[in-house]
Structure 1
Amino acid sequence: MKILLVEDELKVVTVLKKGFEEEEYAVDVAFDGKTGHLMSLSNQYDIIVLDISLPIFNGYELCELIRRRNVHVPILMLTALGTTDNKVEALNLGADDYVVKPFEFKELLARVRALTRRANPDYGPTLLQADNLELNTLTKVVRSGDTQISLTAREFSLLELLLQHKNEVLSRTYIAEQVWALNFDTGTNVVDVYINYLRNKIDKPFKRRLIQTVVGMGYSLRDSE
């Protein structure tokens, strides 16, 4: 998931960017309305988190510009302006939700997740499976039969990606872009390292080989033979 954060307060940007990235979101930041508009034109985002009081032109104007292009990306307003009139104006211009500062990050995160779920109702099944391995995308629980498997956030994201593309061959470049939100550097072996971490947790203890190496192409997750 990719977020465009348009906010001019550096402290707020620092906190939100760190929080979202810890939840495995990729975050682009714009510090004024004009830059935010240009970034929304040149990139595709799953959600835009937008302050109202911005330099050059404000959040109301940016929201209106985005909606004029008939772009339906969810927009969440995040602002210190909390009057009913402020909220009504934002919603009338096309915002999907409105959070008033100060706020709890966990509430903001829940609202972001709710908006992206509504925007992508067919984003994917709740339960992903291969053999007797199960990954629940809502509870974040991974099991093999009756055994619960403990994964780090990055390992979970990697396994989720492999299960979403079960039986497909995924290149290292694609995996790096999806899980780490970065351009793949052929000089790094981070993908191979994390594949090995996963194998040590979901394959070796159960004497099977779900994750398979496709030489010269990448990796594939398949039911064990």
Structure 2
Amino acid sequence: MSQILIVEDEDRIASFIEKGLRSAGFTSERAATGRDGYHLAMTGDFDLVILDLGLPDEDGLDVLERLRGSGNDLPVIILTARTSIDDTVRSLEGGADDYLGKPFRFEELIARVRLRLRREAPTADSMVLSQGGVELDLRSRQASVDGVEVDLSAREFALAEAFLSNPGRALSREQLLSRVWGYDFDPGSNVVDVYVRYLRGKLGAERIETVRGVGYRFVANRRQA
């Protein structure tokens, strides 16, 4: 299981990233300052760093420079509200592996995390999720049910990915909202129910079970009537 270091001083965003990474099968640790982030990154305990630029004690670019200057080649994804061309170029030229602006959607962040980790340790199997006759190719973004390709929108695919990554586990509407729609979601929205209905129509209603008072669960081994 890959361990991700989150260097982010905004607690709401850091908590959102941490929760989303956990639901995607990663473990993580947080640092709220550049100093702490640098020292943790140098321990060798992590597989990737998600790094903010606007840290309270120093600029994230300085943290990146120190990491690369010390010979640390840990994959680094910059995640920041600073989205100017100058900041992007400086980050990439300074050794960042990727750059993502805020606000962001979690499915895009997790795709970039997986891409960078795959380049470090490529495994074809890790890019295909298969449960109960449903298969998702995370590389091509294609889906199939019992060997027949089905057309999923980007949101439907992200929702299906959340379910197939957690077979048999009850996922709350809040978890699904934060994972698929991002940290600016409206907790009163019924968008999850709407998209679950869409997904049931394409994957089979029997595969997504309603868990009363909680949310939904993907049932991989349920037989059709």
Whether TM-score is above 0.5 comes out as yes
Equivalent position of 2:114 in the other structure: 113
- Of structures 1 and 2, the one scoring higher in RCO (CA 8 A, sep 6+) is 2
After TM superposition, give the deviation of residue 56 of structure 1 in Å: 1.4
Structure 2: gaps (5+ residues): 134-145, 148-162, 170-219
- Secondary structure class of the residue paired with 2:61: helix
Q: Per-residue displacement from partner, 1:85-109 (whole Å, max 9, x unpaired)?
A: 0001111110010000001110111
- Secondary structure class of the residue paired with 2:42: helix
Contact 2:79 2:101 in 1 (8 A): yes
Equivalent position of 1:141 in the other structure: 130
Equivalent position of 1:57 in the other structure: 58
Q: Which has the larger radius of gyration?
A: 1
After TM superposition, give the deviation of residue 45 of structure 1 in Å: 1.3
Equivalents in 1 of 2:23, 2:59: separation in Å? 28
Does the alignment pair 1:81 with 2:94? Answer: no
Equivalents in 2 of 1:57, 1:151: separation in Å? 40
Equivalents in 1 of 2:26, 2:102: separation in Å? 21
Equivalent position of 2:216 in the other structure: none
Structure 1: gaps (5+ residues): 127-136, 157-200, 203-225
Contact 2:25 2:165 in 1 (8 A): no
Equivalents in 2 of 1:60, 1:75: separation in Å? 11
Against the structure 1 CA distance between its residues 154 and 143, is the aligned structure 2 distance closer, same or farther, given a 3 Å change threshold? closer
Does the alignment pair 1:153 with 2:166? Answer: yes
After TM superposition, give the deviation of residue 42 of structure 1 in Å: 2.0
After TM superposition, list the pairs within 5 Å mapping 1:170-181 onto structure 2.
none
Equivalents in 2 of 1:125, 1:116: separation in Å? 12
After TM superposition, give the deviation of residue 151 of structure 1 in Å: 7.6
Aligned length: 145
Equivalents in 2 of 1:31, 1:154: separation in Å? 33
Against the structure 1 CA distance between its residues 152 and 49, is the aligned structure 2 distance closer, same or farther, given a 3 Å change threshold? closer
Equivalents in 1 of 2:124, 2:90: separation in Å? 36
Equivalent position of 1:95 in the other structure: 96
Against the structure 1 CA distance between its residues 154 and 21, is the aligned structure 2 distance closer, same or farther, given a 3 Å change threshold? farther
Identity %: 31
Equivalents in 2 of 1:65, 1:155: separation in Å? 44
After TM superposition, give the deviation of residue 142 of structure 1 in Å: 4.4
Contact 2:4 2:26 in 1 (8 A): yes
Equivalent position of 1:179 in the other structure: none
- TM-score, normalised by the number of residues in structure 2: 0.58
Equivalent AA in structure 2 for residue 73 of structure 1:
L
- Secondary structure class of the residue paired with 1:98: strand
Equivalent position of 1:163 in the other structure: none
Equivalent AA in structure 2 for residue 54 of structure 1:
L
After TM superposition, give the deviation of residue 139 of structure 1 in Å: 2.7
Contact 1:7 1:51 in 2 (8 A): yes
Equivalents in 2 of 1:143, 1:155: separation in Å? 11
Equivalents in 1 of 2:25, 2:167: separation in Å? 8
- Secondary structure class of the residue paired with 2:99: strand
